[in-house]
Amino acid sequence: MTRSVDQVENATYGSIRRATEIYGEAFRLTFEYVYGSHIPGAVAEFGCFEGFSSLLLADLIAEFRDETEFYARTFPRHFHVYDSFEGFPKSTNAVDTVSYEVADSGYWREHEDASPPGTEEMLRREFTRRIGESGWTIVRGMYADSLRSTPLAEPVAIANLDCDLYASTVEVLDHLLGRRLLPDGAVLLMDDYNCNRANPRFGMRRAMRECFARTDGFYEFDEFLRYGWHGRAFFVHRLGDSPNPDA
């Protein structure tokens, strides 16, 4: 039996209907832009909880793959999902330990939002059903380990970061940016951008600023869209490359 999006929990919204409206529109706009702009690369997700956003993304990959008549030029969209399935790691980074979500609310404590037993197996079944046997990869483990043992080896057009913690976000962004995996015009979906009271000293806001600064001007970002109270999407631009090889 096919598992639908409304059968899995979303950690941000109590109403699945509300979550589907917000994420569904943001993800669809992102796919329309990436396909309309003919941007090559895979779709990668970092943090899946029960698989709510994973199933939305998988369905969009399948849908847009079949729209070859409208999008005359398409690219393969392998789907990479990285998650420990064990919830948050223990916060040891100095930025995270004093952040609101760790030190104040305590919500981002160790093992919080661990995936229910069987989540990885469910996703493997559903990805096979939706995308096919060879169009996806699930990598289990903490990012510090999984990105080292199974690094991404292809361009990424869409990256959905639901990493929450500053330290986890840095690990993912440094991997994507340091390896120059994001083509010009790629989209970063930052699910927790306004967490920690939207304070720029914490979480994704600080990670974005610092990680892009470490590219020494090769990459820059600017805003694409906002979704819900929490999320923000960004265009990524490669200033280190000329779009015209003859320029």
pLDDT tens-place string over residues 145-154: 999 999 999 9
Output 103 or 246, whichever has higher pLDDT.
103
Q: For the segment 98-145, what is each residue's pLDDT rounded down to a tens digit? A: 887 887 776 677 677 788 999 999 999 999 999 999 999 999 999 999
Q: Does some domain include residue 247?
A: no
Give the residue-averaged pLDDT of 160-182: 96
CATH code of 17's domain = 3.40.50.150
Domain that holds residue 19: 5-238
Q: How many domains does the chain have?
A: 1
- Report pLDDT digits (tens) over 33-76: 999 999 999 999 999 999 999 999 999 999 999 887 777 677 88
**What single DSSP character describes residue 116?**
P
Indicate whether 244 belongs to any domain.
no
Percent helix, percent strand, percent coil in the chain, to nearest 5:
40, 15, 45
Q: What is the pTM assigned to this prediction?
A: 0.90
